[in-house]
């Protein structure tokens, strides 16, 4: 019987090195106490932020010192809690860290409102009087830009204090989905029993036996259906929090508020939805090719993850994946390549799934730590691409931390999803150019098509869903689980028109954690579009384009996202990058149809 192992059964070399942050939990406790004490020091500056240039610099330096150590306290506790969500000690530690973070935000909430009492000429005079303040130029600009949406110091402190409460729907959802919700064990056609999990569901949906895929699909979604009302309530309250917080800051909509943070016009969001909607014919064609490859009369929801090659695909060990990825990023320069390779050997990555481990994958860490990557590696091509994706994030963080001061280190998600997808796209090109085995090549090509389907099309569908449910809340309409089903089911039917939808797929929104992130998902779609443009430029122009891209990574948060992408040669205010990415997807569909001798029409 194939079961998910306990964490203690996994070899140490495949676990991330969190002891590089704190050698022991006792060291973490000491750091927690230090931060707790220093948070109180900020209070002495309230009402004095703009007293003088010297006072402002003292305050900003103090806030940085406390924030940098606090971020390590929070990051360590968060990652420990994700290793096994059943471990109540680490869950409590993470909860304490989140409370501390909230207290820090509250304690420093007076800074921006008081800074906004200044105008640009005042800031220029302060910088002239205290040149060290020049380091905060972008921070000052961003703070003054947000003046119309920043409330009084008293209100800002209240909003900061409420952050734990407003974020609780997502916390509840994560505990339900990762710790409390369990899934049945099913029997494979060969008689092997396998426990369904969040981590292996997609892989099981690629099994060549259609009846087995159907059983997994129904069993998995059936468990979600049993908590339909609970998850519907958490999502409803999350959406309401988004709307109320946006209105508290004088925004008309939650979307306007979310996109204004990184200074992205809402027109970029609208352009994405419209451009993808106008090109659904390519996605429909992909679905038809799947139907033909599977030789079925009707494509069903348990067929969507199936490879056009008709089987699960070759195994790719973690060691093999590392080698492929290191070779693939060579066009980004020798230093980028060597540092990525070193990270893979220095235990950046928590590789394999274990019982209770948080589902999915992400890149973490802080300004003062090495990068850390959580994986649930499944020995397949998809996992290799996910590893490449997260390494893109990690290298972005590493380069930004080395080139930018702390205040400008943290980049926006809008840019982050470009860095991750550049690595995926380079991996695709590398494998198609170097791997001779026809079966492997077919699976690589299929994986890229699936990445575009799931990243550009599917995430845009998610973005459309997110927009519609927020609009309902903003119009004062009730949000119920049935409402979510209706909206999501309609979108699924539009996007996958050649396939037959069902009542279970209408509830798929229940298993998507990103709906608790307040207009997050659209950035996957814009990210892959920008990445395709950047990679094509690098492959066409070589080192000069690669240097521009590395400069964009090194910029971190020192510029607004659209400006950063301009450095790399991409204009995301135009539909052109999206159209180019979709055209590439269409070209690969043609190539795959020829390779597999499928009808391209």
Compute the distance between CA of residue 466 and CA of residue 458 in angstroms, rounded to an integer: 12
595: pLDDT strictly greater than 90: no
Beta-carbon contacts of 278 under 8 Å, excluding residues fewer than 6 positions away, are: none
Beta-carbon contacts of 226 under 8 Å, excluding residues fewer than 6 positions away, are: none
Whether 321 and 359 have beta carbons less than 8 Å apart is answered as no
- What digits encode the pLDDT tens for the residues 386-416? 999 999 999 999 999 999 999 999 999 899 9
Q: Identify the DSSP state of 64.
A: H
Which CATH number does the domain 7-166 belong to among 1.20.1050.10, 3.30.950.10, 1.10.150.120, 1.20.140.70?
1.20.140.70
Q: What is the DSSP string of 254-318?
A: HHHHHHHTTT--HHHHHHHHHHHHTTHHHHHHHHHHHHHHHT-SSEEGGGTT--TTSS------H
Q: What is the DSSP string of 479-529?
A: --HHHHHHHHHHHHHHHTTTEEP-TTGGGGGGG-GGGGSSS-THHHHHHHH
Active-site residue, selected from the candidate residues 69, 112, 390, 508: 390
Whether 332 and 548 have beta carbons less than 8 Å apart is answered as no
Mean of pLDDT values over 453-462: 96
Minimum mean pLDDT among 202-211, 248-257, 541-550: which range? 202-211
Do the bridges between strand 349-352 and strand 362-364 make them parallel or antiparallel, or are there none, so unpaired? unpaired
The two three-digit tokens of residue 421, written as one number: 């997808």
Query: Residue 329: in which H helix or E strand, if any?
Result: none
- At 565, the pLDDT band (50, 70, 90 cuts) reads very high
- At 246, the pLDDT band (50, 70, 90 cuts) reads very high
Compute the distance between CA of residue 215 and CA of residue 302 in angstroms, rounded to an integer: 9
Mean of pLDDT values over 102-113: 91
598: pLDDT strictly greater than 60: yes
The two three-digit tokens of residue 353, written as one number: 């799934």
Residue 153's pLDDT is 74
- What digits encode the pLDDT tens for the residues 336-383? 999 999 999 999 999 999 999 998 899 999 999 999 999 999 999 989
152: pLDDT strictly greater than 90: no
Residue 96's pLDDT is 96
Question: What's the 3-state SS for 380-415?
Answer: CHHHHHHHHHHHHHHHHHHHHHHHCCHHHCCCCHHH
Query: Residue 351: in which H helix or E strand, if any?
Result: strand 349-352
Residue 2's pLDDT is 61
Q: Which CATH superfamily is domain 170-181+227-315+404-601 in?
A: Oligoendopeptidase f, C-terminal domain (1.10.1370.20)
Looking at the chain, which residues constitute the CATH 1.20.140.70 domain(s)? 7-166
Q: Identify the DSSP state of 14.
A: G
Mean of pLDDT values over 9-20: 96
601: pLDDT strictly greater than 70: no
Q: What pTM value is reported for the model? A: 0.83
Residue 69 designated active-site: no
Q: Where does residue 356 fall: left (phi above 0), alpha (psi -120 to 50 degrees), or beta otherwise?
A: left
Q: Where does residue 191 fall: left (phi above 0), alpha (psi -120 to 50 degrees), or beta otherwise?
A: left
For the chain, how big is the Rg over CA atoms in Å?
A: 24
Compute the distance between CA of residue 160 and CA of residue 150 in angstroms, rounded to an integer: 12
Mean of pLDDT values over 563-583: 95
Looking at the chain, which residues constitute the CATH 1.10.1370.20 domain(s)? 170-181+227-315+404-601
Residue 575's pLDDT is 96
Residue 196's nearest CA partner among 182, 211, 208, 207 is: 182
Residue 442's pLDDT is 87
Residue 307's pLDDT is 86
Whether 77 and 97 have beta carbons less than 8 Å apart is answered as yes
Compute the distance between CA of residue 420 and CA of residue 274 in angstroms, rounded to an integer: 24
Q: Identify the DSSP state of 570.
A: -
Percentage of the chain lying above the pLDDT 90 cut:
83
- At 86, the pLDDT band (50, 70, 90 cuts) reads very high
Average confidence score pLDDT of the chain: 94
The two three-digit tokens of residue 254, written as one number: 């939650």
160: pLDDT strictly greater than 80: no
């Amino acid at each position: 019987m194939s079961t998910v192992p306990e964490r203690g059964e996994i070899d140490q070399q495949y676990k991330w090195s969190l002891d590089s942050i704190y050698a022991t939990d006792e060291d973490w406790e000491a750091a927690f106490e230090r931060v707790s004490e220093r948070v109180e020091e900020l209070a002495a500056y309230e009402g004095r932020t703009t007293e003088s240039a010297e006072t402002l610099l003292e305050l900003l330096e103090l806030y940085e010192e406390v924030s940098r150590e606090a971020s390590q306290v929070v990051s360590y506790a968060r990652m420990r809690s994700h290793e096994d969500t059943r471990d109540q000690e680490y869950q409590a530690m993470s909860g304490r860290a989140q409370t501390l973070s909230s207290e820090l935000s509250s304690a420093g909430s007076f800074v921006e409102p008081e800074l906004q009492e200044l105008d640009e000429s005042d800031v220029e005079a302060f910088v002239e009087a205290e040149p060290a303040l020049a380091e905060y130029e972008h921070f000052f600009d961003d703070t003054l830009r947000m003046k119309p949406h920043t409330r009084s110091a008293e209100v800002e402190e209240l909003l900061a204090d409420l952050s734990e409460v407003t974020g609780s729907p997502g916390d509840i959802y994560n505990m339900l989905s990762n710790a409390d919700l369990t899934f049945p064990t099913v029997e494979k056609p060969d008689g092997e029993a396998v426990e369904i999990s969040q981590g292996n569901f997609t892989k099981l949906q690629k099994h060549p036996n259609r009846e087995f895929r159907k059983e997994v699909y129904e069993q998995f979604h059936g468990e979600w259906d049993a908590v339909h009302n609970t998850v519907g309530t958490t999502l409803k309250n999350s959406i309401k929090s988004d709307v109320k917080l946006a209105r508290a800051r004088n925004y008309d909509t939650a979307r306007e508020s979310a996109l204004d943070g990184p200074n992205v016009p809402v027109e970029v969001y609208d352009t994405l939805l419209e451009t993808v909607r106008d090109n659904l014919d390519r996605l429909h064609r992909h679905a038809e090719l799947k139907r033909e490859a599977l030789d079925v009369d009707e494509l069903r929801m348990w067929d969507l993850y199936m490879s056009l090659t008709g089987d699960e695909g070759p195994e790719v060990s973690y060691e093999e994946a590392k080698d492929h990825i290191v070779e693939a990023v060579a066009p980004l320069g020798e230093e980028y390549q060597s540092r990525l390779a070193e990270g893979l050997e220095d235990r950046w990555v928590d590789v394999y799934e274990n019982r209770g481990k948080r589902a999915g994958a992400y890149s973490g860490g802080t300004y003062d730590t090495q990068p850390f990557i959580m994986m649930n590696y499944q020995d397949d091509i998809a996992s290799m691409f996910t590893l490449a994706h997260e390494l893109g994030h990690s290298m972005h963080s590493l380069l930004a931390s080395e080139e930018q001061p702390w205040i400008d280190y943290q980049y926006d998600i809008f840019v982050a999803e470009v860095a991750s997808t550049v690595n995926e796209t380079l991996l695709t090109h590398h494998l198609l150019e170097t791997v001779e085995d026809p079966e492997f090549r077919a699976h690589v090509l299929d994986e890229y098509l699936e990445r575009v389907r799931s990243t550009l099309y599917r995430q845009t569908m998610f973005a459309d869903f997110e927009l519609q449910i927020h609009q309902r809340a903003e119009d004062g309409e009730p949000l119920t689980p049935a409402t979510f089903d209706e909206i999501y089911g309609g979108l699924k039917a539009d996007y996958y028109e050649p396939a037959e939808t069902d009542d279970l797929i209408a509830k798929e929104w229940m298993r998507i954690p990103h709906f608790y992130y307040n207009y997050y998902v659209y950035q996957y779609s814009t990210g892959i579009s920008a990445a395709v443009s950047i990679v094509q430029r690098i492959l066409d122009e070589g080192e000069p384009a690669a240097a521009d891209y590395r400069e964009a990574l090194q910029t971190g948060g020192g510029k607004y996202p659209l400006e950063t992408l301009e450095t790399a040669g991409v204009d995301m205010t135009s539909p052109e990058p999206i159209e180019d990415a979709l055209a590439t997807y269409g070209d690969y569909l043609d190539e795959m149809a020829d390779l597999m001798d499928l009808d391209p029409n």
